Structures are given as structure tokens and as C-alpha cells.
Chains A and B, each alone.
Chain A
Amino acid sequence: MSTRRPVAASLAVLGYLVMIGPLVFVVVTAFTAGSTVRFPPDGFSLRWFGAAVGYEPFVTALVSSLELAVLAACGSLLLGVPVALAIHRGRIPGKGLLEGLFLSPLIVPELVVGLALYQQFMVGLGMNNFTTLVVGHTVLMFPYAVRVTGASLALVDPSVEDAARGLGASPVRTFWTITLPLLRPGLFSAALLSFVTSFNNVPLSLLLQSRDFRTLPVTMLDYVQQSYDPIVASTSVLILAGTVLVAVLAERTVGFAKIFGGINR
């Protein structure tokens, strides 16, 4: 395919280089034996991986980030799936507007949302930063819960639910025995997307940090700004490995491409 379309192929190679190239350098740097981020690295060692795993602030921040991501993913599904149900199955006016409203956190810049919550909740109402973070991340993940589960709800033939009713199932029973099992792939996709997005988020979390509760990406960002040792490289490689694991999990269950951008190959 490359030889017959030389222009397109060259551009594509360039594209992959920009996307993947820097990551290769990060991986190589992480295994350095020296004490600065430089290229080529000074020798080979695993010392910076030991340093990363033993660096208290990163470990604490990792736990915080995981905690926050799980809470946000669960919260957005718990509140967002009913919304998707109401939009797709309920008889209410203004469904388009309602859906737009729930997708709007996707459009408003995250930094702006972060500023709003910082100013109004933490400064204004004196709320603690953990609660503010959970609220912010949950709202930010609403679009995934509403749209992704909504899309898989749209694929469920409503007469299947009608059939269950006709056979004697109450609306609640119908939801648990028919709708929910059929939504499982959509729920899984939404949960995964929410979890990953929340875990990686910087702009929303940035202003909502405190000494007691900091997320990993923000902690790393501060660290890079202050000192320049390869511990960030090794931490990055560990995160990269974790992300690959998540990607493999996604591929094995729902299909990787399907989750992102609704590509059906």
C-alpha cells in the first residue's frame, strides 16, 4: 500500500513518527544509569524504576487518582445511565436539548470548569477539594455515560422490552433482566472511557489540588517543573505499561476500535 501512494504514505509515516516517536525516547531514557534526562542515556539500569515505586508523593498520588477515577466512573454511570434511559425510552419533550445539555461538559474547556468549581465551591462555599474533585470529574464524565450507553440503548429493539412486559415482567424487572444485560458492552465502554479520562485529567484537577489529596498527573507536572531527573521517565513508562494493559482488556472485551469513535471494523 505504501509504494502506490507515495505522498500519502510519506505523510502517514510522518504522522506515526510524531505520535509514537517521543514515547520511544521516554522508554529509552527511563532505563538510564545516569542521573539526568539526556540522550543518549548514560548506561543501562533499572534504578529509576525502583526510585519511582519508592517515591512517596507519586505512590500516594497514584492511589488518590485511582480512587477518584473509580468514584467518578461509578458516579457518572449511576446518574448518567438513568438519564440515557429517560432520553431514549421516556416520553418527554425536548429530548435533543436535554441530551445537548448533558453533553455540554465535553465542549466547555475543562480548565474553565476547574476554575468555576475552585472559585465557587472551594473558595466560595469552603468545600474540601476531594468532594469538589469528585463532583467535577463525575460531571465531566456524564457525556460518556449518556452518549455511549445511549448509543447502545438505541441499538436495543424496544419491542424486546415490550415483549418482556407482555410476558409478565414489571418495568423494573424488565430493566434488570432484559435492558441491563443488553447494555453491558455500552456500560463497559463508558466505564472504561470515564475511568481513563478521569485518571489522566489535568486541566480540571489542576486548580482543585490540596496537600492532602493530589492526583498523579498534576503531581508529576509539578515535579517536572522543579527537577529534571529520570524518575518522571520511569513513572511514565509504568503508566504506559498500565495503559497498554487497559487497552488489551478493552480489545478482549468490547473491541478497542469500537470504544473509541464508534469505529466498526
Chain B
Amino acid sequence: MSAAEFRAVSQVFGDFTAVDAIDLTIPDGKLTTLLGPSGCGKTTSLRMLAGYLSPTSGTILVGGRDCTTTPPEKRNLGMVFQSYALFPHMTVADNVGYGLKLRRTPRAEREARVTEALEMVGLAHLAGSRPKQLSGGQQQRVAIARAVAIRPELLLLDEPLSNLDARLRLQMRAEIRRIQAETGLSVVLVTHDQDEALEMSDQMVVMKDGRIQQQGSPQEVFPAPANRFVAEFLGYENFIPTNDALLTVRPEHLLVDPDGVASDGATSGGVSLPGRVTDLAYRGVDVLVTVEARAEASGDPVRLVADLRATTAPDLRVGGDVRVEAAPGHVVPLPAG
């Protein structure tokens, strides 16, 4: 069963289409990420799902019910905002208990559930504090506890980690996964960070200009990007045009051979191109080698970047002639254009 569903949903602001007829199924009990660059319509999609924006057209289902025109307070979804949006005039416990109070949950049960939610995020000891007294990471956890306390049908998070520092971000990735596993909630998480999406998702949805480009598990999407946009977004940097397709290879999968002799791989679906080194960037663990190569089919120049381990990299110099190669398993064909 699906937790939620978008059917041909569009959002038009004036003459600008922010979300363009998307169809999307949010699976039950899984973590789905919406991934894409700034302005691609992630927040807009999430706000439509939560009920803060009415779609210009299309239907939104939550738990099988048509919710397209239901106001947010009647949807029972837990939303975590990018700015956390904690109520500054209430204590942490009152923040977490707010939704339960509105549901007229009896006092004893309410307190138990507030404590339970705060324990889940490890902040039971801060129940009496004000949001202002907490660090960013702690505020984030309170926001999650508050959303989870109402036992929502779906937990929605808009870029929950973007305001945290790098170390905390890694820690919270794991924590959100743990909370998802513990509660069994269906989660939708918006992010523009591909590593975050890869690490956290059961299902990832890549968007661009209000349209879905590709969706599937990280294991499905990462090795087989559907088009050049998705490939670039996931860190594929080398694009080699051939007669019938566009081939793409990740920098860490390119080999640079200073002897310039073609190996067997090139013939059976791999890549092997002659070229000249134009730049060497030493980065400690690895070396980035930029090579000006020539496409076999058209003879057009192609700029290739190889990411080699510094310890095993061959001896290269700028201006030297080389051959760049990739094994067949690492070369992904994309639809041309």
C-alpha cells in the first residue's frame, strides 16, 4: 500500500510552473527523499502534500483518501521545517505536547507521550527549557519529536540537515534513519545533497524544473542514471559522445596510462581515448588529472577528469601524452542529447 500519492499534480505561480504534472507514489513505512537543485520544486511539492498550498491541478491522496483540498490541520501529517519553527514562547515539553493538547489527549497520556518522544531524540532532560536556550541540533531534534508525537500518517522533513554543521549532519542522518526504523513511519525528506539522499533513502526521487527525472532505490539510480542531468547531479563528470549514445564515467573510474597503449577493454564496451594532460591537482589522498582527449566518432575535443589515488597514480606531467581508459562495467550509456 502507498502512504501518499501525487496524481498529475501541478503548481503554477503566475506564469511560472513550479511543479509540472508530477506522478509520484510514496511507499508505506519507507524513507523517500526528494532530491534536486535549488528551485526545482521540492519544497513546493512537500507543501502541497502537507496542505499549505493547494495544487493548481491534480490530485493528492494520503492513505488512499483524496486530500487535495483538506487544510493542513485535518491531514495529521508531521512536518519538520527547515527553520525548525519551534514556538519560542513555549517550553520544549509544551512544544512537543501542543498537537496532543489540540487532540484533547488526557493529561497523563499526553505527558507520557511527550516524554516518550523526547526520549526518542535523547532530550528528555531538556523538557523545561525554552527553544532559544538550545543548540541548532537540539532544536532540530525537538522539531522531530514534536512532529512524531502526534503519531502522524507521514513525517515530512524539508532540508532538515542544511542548517547543521558538517559533523552534526552526518550524525543526524543516522538518527533520522533510526527514528524511521523505530517508529515505522513513512517519511518524505527533501534535500539537495546527493550523498544525503544516497545514504538515507529507501526510494529517491530526482527532480529538475518541476519534473521528476528518475526515481528508484539508490542502488538502482546511482549506477544507472537515466539522463545527463541525473548523472551530473550524482557526480558523473565525464561525458563522451559516440555515434549512437552518450557515455558517462565517474572520475574515480577513469584510468590514465602514460604509455598510451590501447588495452583490450576499449573494444568490448569500455572507453579508451588518446589525449594530453592539461592539469594536475594534488589533493592529498588523490590527484585530479584533467585530460584533453578526442572523441573517436566526431573527433571533437572532450575534457575528461580522472580521480586517481595519489599512492598508486602513475608518474604524469602536464603536457604529456596519455591514454584514458575505463572498464566496460563502469561506462554508463545515456540517451543522446
Q: If A162-B72, A162-B79 touch, does A167 touch B99 (CB 8 Å cutoff)?
A: yes
Q: A167-B99, A168-B150 are in contact. Are A162 and B85 (CB under 8 A)?
A: yes
**Are B71 and A162 in contact, CB atoms less than 8 angstroms apart?**
no
Q: How many interface contacts (CB-CB < 8 Å) are there between A and B?
A: 63
Determine the distance from Cα of A166 to Cα of B51 in the docked complex, in whole angstroms: 8
Q: Is the CB of A167 within 8 A of B150?
A: yes
Is there an interface contact between B79 and A166, defined as CB atoms closer than 8 Å? yes
Closest B residue to A181 by beta carbon equals B89
* Residue contacts A-B, CB under 8 angstroms, 23 given: A157-B85, A159-B81, A159-B83, A159-B85, A163-B81, A163-B87, A163-B146, A164-B98, A165-B72, A166-B77, A166-B79, A166-B147, A167-B99, A167-B102, A167-B147, A167-B150, A168-B73, A168-B99, A169-B98, A169-B102, A173-B102, A178-B87, A181-B89
Q: Check B88 for interface membership: any CB of A closer than 8 A.
A: yes
A182 within 8 A of B: yes
**Ranked 6 nearest A-B pairs via Cβ:** A167-B99, A163-B85, A159-B85, A168-B102, A165-B72, A166-B79
Judged by a CB distance under 8 angstroms, whether A170 is at the interface is: yes
Complex: A170 Cα to B74 Cα, angstroms: 9
Within 8 A of A (CB), among B63-113: 71-79, 81-83, 85-89, 98-99, 102-103
> CA–CA, A264 to B85, complex, Å?
24
Question: Does B229 touch A at the CB level, under 8 Å?
Answer: no
**In the complex the two chains form, what is the Cα distance from A169 to B103 in whole Å?**
9
Chain A positions within 8 Å of B51 at CB level: 165-166
Q: Give min CB distance, B62 to chain A, whole Å.
A: 13
**A101: CB under 8 A from chain B?**
no
- Complex Cα gap A121–B73 (Å): 47
How far is B132's CA from A182's CA once the two chains are assembled, in angstroms?
14
Q: Please list the residues of chain A having a beta carbon within 8 angstroms of any beta carbon in chain B.
A: 157, 159-160, 162-170, 173, 177-178, 181-182
Q: Name the CB-closest residue of B to A166.
A: B79
**B50 in the interface (beta carbon within 8 A):** yes
Which of B50, B87, B103 has a CB less than 8 Å from the CB of A164? B87
Say whether B52 faces chain A, with CB atoms less than 8 Å apart. Answer: yes
Shortest CB-to-CB span from A68 to chain B, Å, is: 33
B71→A165 contact, CB < 8 A: yes
Query: Using Cβ atoms and an 8 Å threshold, which residues of chain B touch A160?
Result: 85-88
Please give, as numbers and ranges, the residues of chain B lying within 8 Å of A181 by CB-CB distance: 89
Chain A residue with Cβ nearest B82: A159
Which residues of chain B are within 8 angstroms of A165 by Cβ–Cβ distance?
A: 51-52, 71-73
CB pair A157 B78 closer than 8 Å: no
Residues of A within 8 A of B146 (CB): 163, 167
Smallest beta-carbon distance A92→chain B, Å: 15
Beta-carbon nearest neighbor of B52 in chain A: A162
Whether A168 and B83, one on each chain, are in contact in the complex, defined by CB atoms closer than 8 angstroms, is no
Which chain B residues numbered 37 to 67 have a C-beta less than 8 Å away from chain A? 50-52
Q: B50 and A166: CB pair below 8 A?
A: yes
- The reply to whether B73 and A169 form a contact with Cβ atoms under 8 Å apart is yes
Most buried by B among A167, A181, A182: A167
Question: In the complex, A182→B87 CA distance in Å?
Answer: 9
Q: Evaluate contact between A182 and B88: CB separation under 8 angstroms.
A: yes
